[in-house]
Amino acid sequence: MIVPWLTLVIAIPLFGAVVALPLRGVHNRRVGLVTSGLTLALAIAAVVLSRFYDLSEQVLWLRSVGAWYALNIDGLSGSLLLVITALVVAVLLIRSGLEPTATATATATERINVRPEIFTVLVLCTEACISAALLAADLVLFCIAFEMALLPCYALVGCWGGAKRTLAAARFLAFTLTSGFLLLAGVIGMLTAASATGRPSTLLSALGTVAIPEGMGRLLFVLFFLAFAIKGPLVPFHSWLPLLAREAHPLVTTVIVAVVDVLGGYGMIRFAVGLFPAAAAWAAPAVLVLALISIWYAGIAAAGSRHLLQFGVYTSISHTGFIMFGIFALTPETLTGAAMYLSAHAVSVAALLLVGTVIWVTTGTAHIGEFAGLGRRLPVLAGLFLISGLATLALPGFLNFAAELQVLVGAWEHHRVLTLLAIGGTLLGAVYVTLAYQRLFTGQPSPDAPPLKDASLLQRGAIGVLLAATLLFGCAPELLREYVAEADLGTAAIAAADAADAGGK
């Protein structure tokens, strides 16, 4: 098509960031909201048009290595693109409505109002980088976008948060740089393999046909796997996230967990499994065990957590385990279910963290032990928290349930014992959501407790739309399943199964 729709999805947030940079106050926030809304509209248009037209873009820009500026959209990248652009709108809407109450501490007030114009700029830059990574049809371009996302995220963590935010930012930087170096090493290895063909190209369509020796393929798989396991994050590569949840501003935590971390699961499907199906089959037993450890360890940590935002990120790590379990069960059904789960989980955990953000601003604290009887004082927030928690634990009716069920049913035939252990993890989810709700909202408030302002209409709308989306697609999961299936994820699963069969003979 004449209009470069996919480039516009990346360029508009960058343009909006430049416009918003010199502006302050309400003008800065309005530019951010208009820009994010326009980006979401463009993403919707791109997804719809891609069903009828070829929107791919290709321009050769590094002839020596065969690297292209190449963009494409399919069911996997398109569904995630809609999710992250919608979540950025929700984050900026919540941000525009945050006004510290009289009960908020001075520290909390300072955290919320420090240089808001830079917050908008950095969130828009992050959106552009993640969109570029999702749409990249060239390995080098993906690597560049993957690395560039580090810069605004590091600034977000370091500029807004608690007293130890610099430590959280430093740990985030260390882990993310390690992830980036591992990915870069894997990319260099793939370039070496591609150059041996005499016609090097880093287009994903070309790399999928490159013959790679078994040993080299396994090494490259490990590099890609570790890079995305850190980004995911998957236990034991997760230790940077709980500290970030405690020290970063809650909205920053939401951006990192719900928007940026989708690259972990996306990269596993698109690159680690898509490019190295034989090596994925070789590593699958070990990765499935790691996935179960993530489900149970993070679930137990969530049940014992007394920090509201840490509770949210531990639930995210636990459900990342389900996503990885679906990916490395390596059947067409589980890969499709894992792709659906990526979208469902991003939306539900974002809603949960946004509710936590509003509670934090309203009460002035994120420590669950300091709450008492909030259900009587903040009934709307109590309801939103409960619905968000039920969506996150995959209650029937929500999209999380449809995706999780497809993963577990698809994995049952080949991994029955491991699937039973994963099902136990779903029961653990009911425990930690129930405990968190009881600790936050039940009981009698203190007689001398000051009055609190419940969620505003804007906050209810932003969070409510996210929850409504999970219910809509939960009641009609075929809408998303059919779209995701267009990405032909079953090809990698079938190749992995063939490799496993060949290895067993």
- Checking if the pLDDT of 487 tops 50, the result is yes
What rounded mean pLDDT belongs to the chain?
Answer: 86
505 pLDDT tier (thresholds 50, 70, 90) = very low
- Checking if the pLDDT of 36 tops 80, the result is yes
Q: What is the mean pLDDT of residues 331-347?
A: 91
81 pLDDT tier (thresholds 50, 70, 90) = very high
pLDDT in tens, 198-251: 677 888 888 877 778 888 889 999 999 999 999 888 988 888 888 898 888 889
183 pLDDT tier (thresholds 50, 70, 90) = very high
3-state secondary structure 266-279: HHHHHHHHHHCHHH
Identify the H or E element spanning 68: strand 67-71
pLDDT for the residue 11: 95
16 pLDDT tier (thresholds 50, 70, 90) = very high
Tokens of 420: 């039973």
Cα of 154 vs its chain's centroid, Å: 16
Give the CA distances from residue 324 to residues 142, 162, 271, 292, 340, in Å, rounded to whole numbers and listed in that order: 21, 32, 14, 9, 12
Angle between helices 5-20 and 116-135 (to 10 degrees): 170
One-letter amino acid for residue 238 of the chain: H
Q: Which single residue is written with the structure tokens 């601003």? A: 361
**Model confidence, pTM:** 0.91
Q: Which residues pair with 367 in a beta bridge?
A: 307
pLDDT in tens, 150-178: 999 998 888 877 778 888 888 989 999 99
pLDDT for the residue 493: 61
Q: Who's near 246: CB < 8 A, 6+ residues apart?
A: 162, 164, 168, 307, 309, 310, 366
Tokens of 231: 């980004």
Q: How far apart are CA 172 and CA 177, in angstroms?
A: 8
- Checking if the pLDDT of 107 tops 70, the result is no
Exposure letters 305-316 (e unless 16+ CB within 10 A, then b): bebbbbbbbbbb
Q: What is the mean pLDDT of residues 365-373?
A: 74
Q: What is the mean pLDDT of residues 97-112?
A: 44
Higher pLDDT, 195 or 155: 155
**What are the residue ranges of helices labelled H in 106-249?**
106-113, 116-135, 139-148, 150-159, 165-195, 204-207, 214-231, 240-247
From its phi and psi, is residue 24 left (phi > 0), alpha (psi between -120 and 50) or beta?
beta
Q: What is the mean pLDDT of residues 487-494?
A: 66
- Checking if the pLDDT of 113 tops 50, the result is no
pLDDT for the residue 78: 93
- Checking if the pLDDT of 378 tops 80, the result is yes
- Checking if the pLDDT of 496 tops 70, the result is no
Reference 121, options 81, 151, 82; nearest CA is: 151
Residues of the chain with pLDDT > 70: what percent?
90
Domain ranges of the chain: 5-504
* Half-sphere exposure of residue 234: CA atoms within 13 angstroms, side-chain side: 24
pLDDT in tens, 256-268: 988 888 999 999 9
- Checking if the pLDDT of 96 tops 90, the result is no
Q: How far apart are CA 404 and CA 277, in angstroms?
A: 23
pLDDT in tens, 391-416: 988 888 899 999 999 999 988 888 88
Tokens of 11: 């360029």
Q: What are phi and psi of 61, to 5 degrees?
A: -130, -15
- Checking if the pLDDT of 372 tops 90, the result is no
Q: How far apart are CA 166 and CA 174, in angstroms?
A: 12
Question: What is the 8-class DSSP label of residue 394?
Answer: T
3-state secondary structure 12-66: HHHHHHHHHCCCCHHHHHHHHHHHHHHHHHHHHHHHHHHCCCCCCEEEEEECCCC
Our CA angle for 154, 299, 249, nearest 5°, is 25
Our CA angle for 191, 197, 202, nearest 5°, is 35
Q: Residue 196 CB: number of other CB atoms within 10 A?
A: 11
Q: How far apart are CA 470 and CA 345, in angstroms?
A: 9
Q: How far apart are CA 488 and CA 76, in angstroms?
A: 9
